[in-house]
Structure formats: C-alpha cells, structure tokens
C-alpha cells in the first residue's frame, strides 16, 4: 500500500478522501495551515468513522515555502485539495488566484523533488464552464476550458480554479515532466458533513433549511455527492488510464427551488421557502445585499454536463443528487448546526 499526502486535510472533500484512502489500506499524512488542527481533525474523522484515526499533520500554507519538503518526504502519491473557497468572494481576485495557482505549483514542485509518482489535483467545474459568454456548449465535458479573461462570466473563484489547473498542466508538461497528473473537476459538492465547519458549497442546503430566503433565486446547480468525489480521487490515483486526464464529477443539475422542494418534503415541520423569485427582484435586492450581488450574473444560466468519464472511472453510477442533498441536511441537523 502507498503513502499519500493530502493537502488541505481539514477540508470537507479532503476529510472524506482521507477516510477512503485509509479504508483502501493506504498510509495518510495531511497538511494544514496549522499543525495544531491535527487533534480536532483526528477527533472529527474518528467520530465519523466510528473508530480511532490518528494521521500526522505537517503545517504548510499555499502562500509560503515552509513545510512542503517535509510534508512530501517519503510520499508516493499527492492528493492536492487545498485551495481557498470562501463563502463571500473578495473584490481583489488575486486574493484567491495567488494561493490557488502558486500553491498548486508549490505542491507539485515539492512532489517532483521528492520523487512522488502521481498527483491528483482537485480542480472544479469552474475550470470548464465559465467565461464562454453566449458560446457556452449545450453539454460541457472535460475537453472544455473556462476562459478566465472574460470577467463578465467569471468570479474570483472560477478564475482561481482555471488558472491553477492550467498552471498545473503546464508544469507537468514542462519543467515537472515525469510527474503524472490527473484532475478532478466537481460541480457543487454536497453529502454528509463531518463537522459544522464545512465547505461553502453546503450553503446550498443551509440557506433553505435556515428559512431565511423568501423564495429561491432562479439559479441552477450541478450536484455531486462528496463520497463520489472522494472515491474519484482515490481511483484517479491508481487507475492506469487516469494520468493526463480530467474527470468532470457531477450527478445532475437541479434548480435551487428543486433543491428546496427535496428539503421541504423531508422536513415538513420547518417552514422552508417555496417558489422562485423573479430575476428583476433579485437584481433590485442585490443593490443592497453583496451576497445577492454575487449571484446576479448566474440568474437563468444552466450548465449541463456529460459525466460518462467519471462513471467509467468509478465503474458505477453516481450517488443521486437527492441523496447528497438529504445527507447534508441530516448530518448538519444531527450535529446541531441546523
């Protein structure tokens, strides 16, 4: 079995990936911005898995060189998941682009120097589906790339993921030749939360459950279960066909209102919002609300995708979006977060 380094080990997808790696018999080391988070992470993993887990954590920040060589020492495979994913997007795009892009290169350079065989990097649908303007393909797949220069159809986050993934491929095709690379490109990741400190993506469930929305903005979300995303990371690490490939991970596309309906049906005692808000109203409200302002460019847009490569990698169908949505809600309710 192999020794695997998981960067951003405290994160939502990383925690599930760590458990899948351990279940497959691999030895796991993690990085976190602070090694002091090791005890809390191991407690969370142990509680969720129902057995004692104690992985080593090395402190390494995407924005600095300290710790990367130590973290990579003796490692066979790199799982690079760390990248900023804030709930509120910064005005200055470099706040996200710099850690995402430079951090990916830092991790890959350290991996190459340590003789790591293969890196699996968590990219995103953000690196596939944005910046197309009116020319967006009706069905997106791994052959498509976002255009980060079209600022009208991008956010700081989508640009950070596109530029980081592009830099990673350029690195392994040049200076880093010999280091194998596969990228995982998920849509919005839902599914079981292990703690209340979860990814910004779970806001898609948290917001309706908190009942703070009057009704749903006309948004659509591709949804995938975190357990499928974790399995894909593990499969892409050893599958002989994976190097040089991207894997778009998404089960299906739902409107925000459809996600709300799934939750309303499961939690009838809660007063969950119903119906859709007209676009003009969201635009008007966004003048006073910075969170709404972020979503205005997304109103009415749908990004359909082909997930056949992901299904082939996993050798099965993906977990239904409905189950991913309900598992997010159930676990957050059980944790007392909702």
Minimum distance from CB of 38 to ligand NAP (Å)?
Answer: 12
Cβ closest to ligand NAP, residue 122 vs residue 252: 122
Give yes or no: 91 in active site.
Answer: no
Identify whether the C-beta of residue 274 lies closer than 8 Å to the C-beta of residue 211: no
Q: How far apart are CA 325 and CA 291, in angstroms?
A: 22
Three-state SS for 30?
strand
Residue 81 has which token pair? Answer: 């998941």
Minimum distance from CB of 313 to ligand NAP (Å)?
Answer: 16
Three-state SS for 189?
strand
Identify whether the C-beta of residue 278 lies closer than 8 Å to the C-beta of residue 300: no
State the distance between the two ends of the chain, measured CA to CA, in whole angstroms: 39
Cβ closest to ligand NAP, residue 58 vs residue 114: 58
Cβ closest to ligand NAP, residue 55 vs residue 285: 55
Q: Cβ-closest residue to ligand NAP?
A: 11
Any idea which residue has 């002989």 for tokens? 240
Minimum distance from CB of 81 to ligand NAP (Å)?
Answer: 5
Binding site residues, ligand NAP, CB under 6 A: 8, 10-14, 32-33, 61-63, 81-85, 99, 122, 124, 161, 186, 188-189, 199, 201
Three-state SS for 258?
helix
Minimum distance from CB of 128 to ligand NAP (Å)?
Answer: 10
Cβ closest to ligand NAP, residue 201 vs residue 252: 201
Minimum distance from CB of 284 to ligand NAP (Å)?
Answer: 28
Task: Choose the catalytic residue: 161, 212, 271, 301.
Answer: 161
Identify whether the C-beta of residue 101 lies closer than 8 Å to the C-beta of residue 160: yes
Specify the DSSP class assigned to residue 11: S
Identify whether the C-beta of residue 217 lies closer than 8 Å to the C-beta of residue 277: yes
User: How do strand 252-255 and strand 220-225 relate by DSSP bridges?
Assistant: antiparallel
Cβ closest to ligand NAP, residue 55 vs residue 215: 55
- List residues with catalytic annotation: 161
């Amino acid at each position: 079995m192999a020794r695997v380094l998981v960067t951003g080990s405290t994160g939502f997808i990383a925690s599930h990936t760590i458990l899948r790696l351990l279940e497959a018999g691999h030895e796991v080391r993690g990085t976190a911005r602070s090694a002091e988070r090791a005890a809390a992470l191991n407690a969370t993993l142990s509680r969720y898995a129902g057995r004692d887990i104690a992985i080593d954590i090395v402190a390494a920040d995407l924005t600095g060189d300290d710790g990367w060589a130590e973290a990579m020492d003796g490692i066979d495979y790199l799982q690079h998941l760390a990248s900023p994913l804030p709930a509120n997007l910064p005005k200055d795009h470099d706040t996200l682009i710099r850690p995402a892009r430079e951090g990916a290169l830092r991790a890959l350079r350290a991996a190459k120097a340590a003789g790591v065989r293969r890196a699996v990097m968590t990219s995103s649908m953000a690196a596939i589906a944005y910046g197309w303007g009116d020319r967006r393909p009706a069905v997106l797949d791994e052959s498509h790339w976002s255009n980060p220069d079209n600022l009208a159809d991008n956010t700081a986050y989508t640009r950070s993921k596109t530029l980081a993934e592009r830099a990673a491929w350029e690195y392994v095709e040049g200076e880093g030749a010999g280091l194998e690379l596969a990228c995982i490109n998920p849509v919005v990741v839902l599914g079981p939360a292990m703690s209340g400190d979860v990814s910004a993506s779970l806001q898609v469930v948290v917001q309706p459950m908190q009942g703070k929305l009057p009704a749903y903005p006309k948004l659509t979300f591709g949804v995938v279960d975190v357990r499928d995303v974790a399995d894909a990371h593990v499969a892409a690490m050893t599958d002989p066909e994976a190097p040089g490939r991207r894997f778009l991970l998404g089960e299906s596309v739902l409107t925000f209102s459809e996600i709300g309906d799934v939750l309303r049906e499961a939690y009838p005692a809660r007063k969950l919002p119903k119906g859709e808000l007209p676009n003009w109203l969201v635009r008007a409200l966004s003048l006073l609300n910075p969170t709404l302002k972020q979503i205005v460019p997304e109103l009415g847009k749908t990004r359909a995708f082909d997930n056949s490569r992901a299904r082939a990698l996993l050798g099965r169908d993906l977990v239904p979006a409905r189950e991913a949505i309900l598992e997010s809600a159930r676990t957050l309710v059980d944790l007392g977060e909702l």
